[in-house]
Copies of this chain bind each other. A is one copy, B any other.
Amino acid sequence: MLDQNQRPSPISPTIDLDARGVQHGFLRLPHSRDDSAWGSVMIPIAMIRNGSGPTALLTGGNHGDEYEGPLALYELARTLDPADVSGTVIIVPALNYPAFRAGTRTSPIDKGNMNRSFPGAPDGTVTQKIADYVQRHLLPRADIVLDFHSGGRTLDFVPFCAAHILPDKAQEARAFAAVEAFAAPYSVKMLEIDAVGMFDTAVEEMGKVFVTTELGGGGTARAETVRIARKGVMNVLRHTGIVAGAVERTPTSWLDMPDGDCFSFAEDDGMIETIVDLGERVQRGVVVARIHGTGRTGIAPIEIKAKMDGILAARHFPGLVKAGDCAAVVAVPQG
Give residues in A with beta carbon < 8 Å to B. 7, 10, 22, 24-26, 28-42, 44-46, 63, 65-67, 70-71, 74-75, 77-78, 91, 93-94, 100-101, 103-106, 111, 113, 116, 123, 151-156, 194, 196-197, 218-224, 226, 263, 265, 267-269, 271, 273-277, 280, 292, 294-301, 317-320, 322-326
Interface contact A93-B297, CB-CB below 8 Å:
yes
A39: which B residues are within 8 A, CB to CB?
A: 154, 322, 324-326
Interface contact A37-B319, CB-CB below 8 Å:
no
A268: which B residues are within 8 A, CB to CB?
A: 295
Interface contact A154-B294, CB-CB below 8 Å:
no
Interface contact B103-A318, CB-CB below 8 Å:
yes
Interface contact A155-B37, CB-CB below 8 Å:
yes
From the candidates B34, B38, B74, B269, name the one contacting A155 in the complex (CB within 8 A).
Answer: B38
Known contacts: A221-B273, A297-B45, A300-B78. The answer to whether A38 contacts B292 by CB under 8 A is no
A101: which B residues are within 8 A, CB to CB?
A: 294
From the candidates B196, B219, B223, B292, name the one contacting A123 in the complex (CB within 8 A).
Answer: B196
Complex formed: what's the CA distance from A66 to B318 in Å?
A: 10
From the candidates B151, B271, B277, B296, name the one contacting A26 in the complex (CB within 8 A).
Answer: B296
Interface contact A28-B324, CB-CB below 8 Å:
yes
Complex formed: what's the CA distance from A112 to B78 in Å?
A: 39
A299: which B residues are within 8 A, CB to CB?
A: 78
Q: Knowing that A22-B298, A78-B299, A93-B297 are A-B contacts, what are 15 other residue pairs whose CB atoms are under 8 Å apart, sorted by A's residue number?
A: A28-B324, A35-B318, A37-B152, A37-B155, A38-B263, A39-B154, A39-B322, A45-B297, A65-B319, A70-B292, A74-B271, A77-B297, A100-B294, A103-B319, A218-B317
Interface contact A226-B273, CB-CB below 8 Å:
yes
Complex formed: what's the CA distance from A45 to B294 in Å?
A: 11
A322: which B residues are within 8 A, CB to CB?
A: 35-36, 39
- Shortest Cβ distance from residue A28 to the other chain B in the assembled complex, whole angstroms: 7
Interface contact B295-A34, CB-CB below 8 Å:
no
Interface contact B326-A26, CB-CB below 8 Å:
no
A31: which B residues are within 8 A, CB to CB?
A: 324
Interface contact A33-B105, CB-CB below 8 Å:
yes
Interface contact A319-B219, CB-CB below 8 Å:
yes
Known contacts: A28-B324, A36-B324, A323-B295. The answer to whether A276 contacts B223 by CB under 8 A is yes
Complex formed: what's the CA distance from A33 to B113 in Å?
A: 8
